[in-house]
């Protein structure tokens, strides 16, 4: 009888919600729905504005351009889920890229060894950030703001500001720029690697205890600690895994750009954070899914690519990105106020 009464009360409460409140509940349960709708609107709008936008060739280029940002956004998502933020993503990637390229340049070192050292260095950079956050208790914003400058300076000093062209690198470091065609639609192996990264990390976050702990720490670190969750070790793992992913993004970037250059993707930090926020992951931690991040990365690159095809100036593209971020955060704030 009590159960029946409770169900009736819940049903009555649900019916009392306005359509807007019901939408709020749906988005709270599935935060990736709103960016998916935005992506659909963007595709339709750009197709109407320029029919060449949805051609197989254009879509292949769009996916190739999305690959690096999407990879970086995976690591950024892990950190944002713990209520942190990483401003050093681009610097870590560039440092890793320049080290692996310099070591392997003109046969100086076997490609596989150079790759492992470069990815290992990025992982170490993430571990250093983690130590500063967990052991010295510094805010992630301050830690990564400082390491952004440090890693950028090291990359420039190490490389001397010079680029290394693909012709001076072993095939292994360039292989992710190669690919295969499906008709006029072309995919690179870098895109395949990004999809694998998303698949593995999505499984880890949704199907393992470590993944559940990541959400718990982001939702309320103190409550998680009191419940027996090893919060510091989880944060240590999150930043270290993020560093590993940045190293893989460096490998993808070499293949995509056809060179290793210290000035690659200057807006990588903003683009990765934008993808995460637009994708529905809350900046306050504890809520979000990698599928939303992938959609967010596609939205960022779709706007950039579509506006470029329309001949819109770079300044207006940056403006559009800024507006997207503010709107996404405002929607997130509204969704967080959901009431039972």
Q: What is the pLDDT of residue 174?
A: 94
DSSP H helices in 30-139: 33-49, 56-81, 89-104, 111-134
**Domain for residue 6, yes or no?**
no
Q: Are 206 and 220 in contact (CB under 8 A)?
A: no
**Residue % of the chain over a pLDDT of 90:** 54
**9 part of a folded domain:** no
Mean pLDDT of 219-248: 93
Structure tokens at 134: 């967990």
* pLDDT tens string 242-294: 999 999 999 999 999 889 999 888 888 988 998 998 888 888 888 889 999 99
Question: pLDDT class for 221, splitting at 50, 70, 90?
Answer: confident
Task: Say what the pTM is.
Answer: 0.87
Query: Which H or E run contains 12?
Result: helix 2-16
Average pLDDT for the chain: 88
* Gyration radius of the chain over CA positions: 21
The pLDDT of residue 80 is above 90? yes
Q: How many C-beta neighbours within 10 Å does residue 283 have?
A: 18
| pLDDT for residue 226 | 85
Q: Report the C-alpha gap between 255 and 153 in whole angstroms.
A: 24
Among candidates 212, 326, 318, which has minimal Cα distance to 266? 318
The token pair at 75 is: 């690591």
Q: Considering the domain boundaries, does residue 243 fall inside one?
A: yes
β-pairing, 164-165 with 185-188? unpaired
- Please give the DSSP secondary-structure letter assigned to residue 185: E
Instruction: Assess if residue 7 is contained within a domain.
Output: no
> Domain range for residue 106?
31-336
Please report, for the domain that includes residue 131, its CATH number: 1.10.3470
In a domain, 47, yes or no: yes
Residue 144 lies in a domain: yes
Band (332; pLDDT cuts 50, 70, 90): low
How many domains does the chain divide into? 1
For residue 25, being part of any structural domain is answered with no
């Amino acid at each position: 009888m009590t159960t029946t009464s409770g169900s009736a009360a819940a049903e009555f409460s649900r019916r009392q919600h306005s359509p807007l409140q019901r939408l709020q509940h749906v988005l709270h349960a599935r935060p990736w729905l709103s960016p998916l709708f935005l992506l659909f609107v963007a595709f339709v709008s750009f197709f109407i504005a320029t029919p060449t936008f949805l051609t197989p060739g254009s879509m292949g280029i769009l996916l190739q351009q999305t690959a690096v940002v999407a990879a970086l956004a995976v690591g950024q998502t892990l950190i944002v889920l713990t209520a942190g933020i990483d401003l050093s993503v681009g610097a870590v990637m560039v440092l890793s890229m320049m080290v692996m390229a310099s070591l392997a340049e003109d046969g100086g070192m076997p490609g596989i060894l150079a790759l492992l050292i470069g990815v290992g260095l990025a992982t170490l950079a993430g571990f250093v950030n983690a130590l500063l956050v967990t052991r010295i208790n510094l805010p992630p914003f301050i830690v990564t703001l400082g390491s952004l400058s440090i890693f950028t300076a090291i990359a420039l000093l190490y490389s001397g500001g010079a680029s290394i062209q693909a012709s001076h690198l072993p095939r292994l470091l360039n292989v992710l720029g190669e690919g295969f065609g499906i008709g006029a639609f072309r995919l690179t192996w870098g895109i395949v690697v990004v999809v694998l990264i998303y698949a593995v990390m999505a499984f880890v976050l949704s199907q393992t205890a470590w993944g559940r702990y990541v959400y718990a720490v982001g939702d309320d670190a103190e409550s998680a600690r009191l419940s027996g969750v090893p919060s510091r070790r989880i944060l240590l793992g999150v930043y270290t895994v993020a560093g590993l992913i940045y190293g893989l993004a460096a490998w993808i970037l070499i293949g995509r750009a056809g060179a290793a250059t210290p000035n690659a993707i200057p807006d990588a930090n903003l683009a990765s954070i934008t993808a995460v926020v637009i994708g529905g992951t809350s900046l306050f931690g504890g809520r979000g899914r990698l599928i939303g991040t992938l959609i967010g990365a596609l939205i960022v690159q779709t706007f950039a690519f579509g506006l470029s095809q329309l001949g819109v100036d770079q300044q207006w593209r940056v403006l559009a990105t800024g507006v997207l971020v503010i709107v996404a955060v405002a929607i997130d704030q509204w969704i967080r106020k959901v009431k039972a």
